[in-house]
Chain A
Amino acid sequence: QKEVEQDPGPLSVPEGAIVSLNCTYSNSAFQYFMWYRQYSRKGPELLMYTYSSGNKEDGRFTAQVDKSSKYISLFIRDSQPSDSATYLCAMFISGNTGKLIFGQGTTLQVKP
């Protein structure tokens, strides 16, 4: 079993739709959670970072963490064609490990 599971998609939605991207994880030692966006042939860029269970909002993006279920989500409201990219969840184990564990990534296409 992979430490972090993420549905690779692809996910195709019309412009303006609400998008829900999800990851599950197996190790309860994961404490810090991130979402990265990766455009084709580019490096990942940090979108959202959260530690505690609950919701964190930044513009059209909302990150949700449920530690009891080992489940994290990223919601995108009013999706735009420029949101078309691969979205990678990532998480750190607490402590000074320096190792970020990524999910496989979900490819999103927003059609105009």
Chain B
Amino acid sequence: DAMVIQNPRYQVTQFGKPVTLSCSQTLNHNVMYWYQQKSSQAPKLLFHYYDKDFNNEADTPDNFQSRRPNTSFCFLDIRSPGLGDAAMYLCATSRDLGANEKLFFGSGTQLSVL
């Protein structure tokens, strides 16, 4: 059974057209993360929520925003996608924050920008 579900699997958008990616979880975990992974590169953390507390990475562009309306759902909004934002976007969850916590990933959304 899928525990971290990302929709859609593939998303095509136009340059500058806002796009929203969604993630849901059935694990009831406190923490939800968004990672960006470009081809043949390491996943890069964009931000995470601990419950309703939002934590943005210092180098995450302002173009990227996130919302977590409840425990189960988290959204990634890209306000004005550029060609450089084409990537796989990975949602992950963990029960709590801390170095001994295990992350569970969704299957990702592959974003193309035309």
Contacts and interface: CB of A to CB of B under 8 A. Distances in A.
A and B bind: yes
Contacts, number: 66
Interface residues of A, number: 31
B41 interface: yes
Interface in A1-41: 4, 6, 8, 31-32, 34, 36, 41
A41 B103 contact: no
Interface in B63-114: 88, 90, 92, 94, 97-100, 102-108, 110
Category for how many chain B residues contact A: 20 to 34
B21 interface: no
Nearest to A92: B99
B90 A43 contact: yes
Given A44-B90, A105-B40, A100 B97 contact: no
A102 B108 contact: no
B42 A98 contact: no
B108 A51 contact: no
A32 B99 CA distance: 6
A103 B42 contact: yes
Interface in A52-106: 88, 92-105
Interface of A: 4, 6, 8, 31-32, 34, 36, 41-46, 49, 51, 88, 92-105, 107
Given A41-B108, A44-B105, 9 more contacts: A43-B105, A43-B106, A44-B90, A45-B105, A96-B97, A96-B99, A98-B31, A98-B55, A102-B43
12 contacts: A32-B99, A43-B106, A44-B43, A46-B102, A46-B104, A88-B43, A92-B99, A96-B97, A96-B98, A97-B99, A100-B103, A104-B41
